[in-house]
């Protein structure tokens, strides 16, 4: 399912191609987040127009609402939401540990209370495989335990062991039910390089279609993030895809591509857009600044997105000040374009053998500019 097309001679970056049930995905790729069966504010048509080749959706959320039987009745998630290209679904592990009220954690799975209505729920290896099978995910993820940050070594060890137990059971369960999609394992291990490597090495014999690095972006500094990803990627097979879960800022993505990561997903472009902040190739910019009051220029000069081709900064600022939904739509659109265009540029640079220059220039020019002082680390 993964073809390694071209490794970068000056870094661990790679150009590749995923061949999935619903289409082909060029890597390195970014997956927009469609938590509840919709990329927030966007239609599937608009996502196609943006050039999105794959999106992510969430087992945890969809299982709680609308419930798996509704999606089964619709003939799967693709038909339910009207998206005919690939979908990766996470297993729900991360959401159980971040959103739900935890009840009980055993090798069989995790009992928790729904963050929506407090209902008691259970997710174990069997459940997450069955649910993702019904969803019809092109790529399903194993259940894993995501420790918080900071995390002592003993807690990290235990999470690794539990994640490995669950991974093995997910593998068996997937075989038993004839899982329709591909299945990725997830390496945990917090910020401990040796635990990360150990976890990855013990996942390999289970024979997954790809390998994710999970439990990242939970508060660790960039140096630790980059170091553990590099350490983990080093032991992962060259001919299989690597996915850094829940990441990241444009700068982080470029740095992680350089460390051998092929796949990314992140809520930042959509969430930050709805909050009124634009990503640009040179950093972030609030749409509410007084300087935009009558600025006739597009949000980002030279940008080819729908927002920038049609609307001024003055208009976008007005929409946010007036609380108009079109404002959320336009910055979501722009931000997703920035992310997807970044991945196109990254791929073009690897293909052209100029990724080292691209990386240097991008990282040098990218700055965080958040005039309103919001707590967004972008």
Strand pairing category for 242-244 and 210-213: parallel
135 neighbors 78 (Cβ within 8 angstroms): no
For residue 30, the cross-strand partners are 264
Residue length, the chain?
A: 378
Confirm if 353 and 345 have CB atoms less than 8 A apart. Answer: no
**Nearest distance from residue 28's CB to its own copies, in Å?**
28
Quote the Cα angle for 350-355-359, to 5°: 140
Minimum CB separation of residue 316 from its own copies in Å reads: 11
Q: Would residue 265 show up in a list of annotated catalytic residues for this protein?
A: yes
User: Which residue number, 36 or 354, has a Cβ lying nearer to its own copies?
Assistant: 36
Check binding of 296 to its own copies (CB under 8 A).
Answer: yes
d(CA 130, CA 53): 25
224, 215 contact by CB (below 8 A) = no
Q: Please tell me the count of residues contacting its own copies according to CB under 8 A.
A: 36
Instruction: Pick one of 101, 148, 176, 293: the residue that binds its own copies (CB under 8 A).
Output: 293
Residue number with CB closer to its own copies (80 or 339): 80
Minimum distance between the CB of residue 20 and its own copies, rounded to whole angstroms? 22
85 vs 24: CA distance, rounded Å: 8
Both ends of the chain: CA-CA distance in Å? 33
CB of 337 vs its own copies, minimal distance in Å: 15
From the candidates 8, 138, 144, 265, give the one annotated as an active-site residue: 265
Cα–Cα distances (Å) from 227 to 191, 237, 354, in that order, read: 8, 18, 23
- Active-site residue among 45, 84, 90, 209? 90
Residue given tokens 């208009």 in the structure block = 315
Which 27-86 positions form the footprint of its own copies (CB under 8 A)? 36-38, 40-44, 61, 65-66, 69-70, 73-74, 80-82
Cα(376)–Cα(327) distance, integer angstroms: 19
Complex with its own copies: residue 85 or 126, whichever CB lies closer: 85
Q: Which of residues 40 and 202 has its CB atom nearest to its own copies in the complex? A: 40
| Cα within 13 Å of Cα(306), Cβ side | 16
Whichever of 43 and 155 has its CB closer to its own copies, that residue is: 43
Binders in 301-360 for its own copies, by CB under 8 A: 310-312, 314-315, 317-319, 321-322, 324-326, 328-329
Phi (first) and psi of residue 184, to 5 degrees = -105, 140
Report, in Å, the least distance between residue 76 CB and its own copies.
12
Which residue, 46 or 172, has its beta carbon nearer to its own copies? Answer: 46
Buried b (16+ CB within 10 A) or exposed e, 202-237: bbeeeebbbbbbbbbbbebeeebbbbbbbbbbebbe
Instruction: Dig out the tokens for 254 from the structure.
Output: 């470029």
CB of 36 to its own copies, least distance (A): 4
Q: How far apart are CA 34 and CA 258, in angstroms?
A: 26
Q: In whole angstroms, how close is the CB of 303 to its own copies at the nearest point?
A: 16
Q: Closest CB to its own copies among 37 and 124?
A: 37
Rounded-to-integer distance, Cα 26 and Cα 316, Å: 32
Write out the catalytic residue numbers: 90, 265
Contacting residues toward its own copies, per CB under 8 A: 36-38, 40-44, 61, 65-66, 69-70, 73-74, 80-82, 293-294, 296, 310-312, 314-315, 317-319, 321-322, 324-326, 328-329
């Amino acid at each position: 399912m993964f073809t390694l097309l071209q490794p970068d001679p000056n870094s661990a970056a790679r150009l590749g191609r995923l061949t999935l049930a619903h289409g082909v995905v060029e890597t390195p790729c970014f997956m927009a987040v469609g938590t509840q069966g919709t990329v927030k504010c966007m239609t599937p048509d608009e996502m196609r127009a943006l050039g999105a080749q794959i999106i992510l959706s969430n087992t945890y959320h969809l299982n709680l609402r609308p419930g798996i039987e509704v999606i089964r009745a619709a003939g799967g998630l693709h038909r339910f939401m009207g998206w005919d290209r690939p979908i990766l679904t996470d297993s729900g592990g991360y959401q159980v540990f971040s959103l739900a009220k935890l009840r009980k954690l055993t090798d069989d799975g995790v009992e928790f209370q729904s963050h929506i209505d407090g209902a008691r729920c259970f997710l174990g290896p069997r459940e997450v495989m069955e649910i993702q099978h019904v969803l019809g995910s092109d790529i399903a993820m194993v259940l894993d335990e995501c420790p918080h940050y900071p995390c002592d070594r003993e807690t990290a060890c235990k999470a690794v062991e539990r994640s490995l137990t669950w991974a093995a059971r997910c593998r068996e369960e997937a075989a038993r039910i004839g899982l329709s999609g591909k299945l990725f394992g997830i390496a945990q291990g917090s910020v401990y390089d040796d635990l990360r490597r150990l976890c990855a090495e013990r996942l390999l014999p289970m024979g997954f279609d790809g390998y994710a690095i999970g439990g990242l972006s939970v508060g660790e500094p960039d140096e630790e993030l980059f170091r553990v990803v590099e350490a983990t990627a080093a032991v992962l097979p060259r001919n299989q895809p690597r996915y850094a879960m829940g990441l990241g800022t444009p700068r982080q993505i470029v740095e992680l591509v350089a460390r051998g990561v092929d796949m990314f997903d992140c809520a930042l472009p959509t969430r930050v857009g709805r909050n009124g902040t634009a990503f640009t190739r040179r950093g972030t910019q609030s749409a509410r600044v007084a300087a935009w009051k009558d600025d006739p220029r597009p949000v980002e000069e030279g940008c080819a997105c729908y927002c920038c081709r049609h609307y001024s900064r003055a208009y976008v600022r007005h929409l946010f000040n007036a609380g108009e939904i079109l404002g959320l739509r336009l910055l979501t659109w722009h931000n997703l374009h920035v992310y997807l265009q970044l991945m196109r540029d990254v791929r073009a640079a690897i293909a052209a053998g100029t990724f080292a220059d691209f990386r240097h220039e991008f990282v040098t020019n990218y700055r965080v500019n958040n005039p309103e002082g919001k707590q967004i680390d972008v």
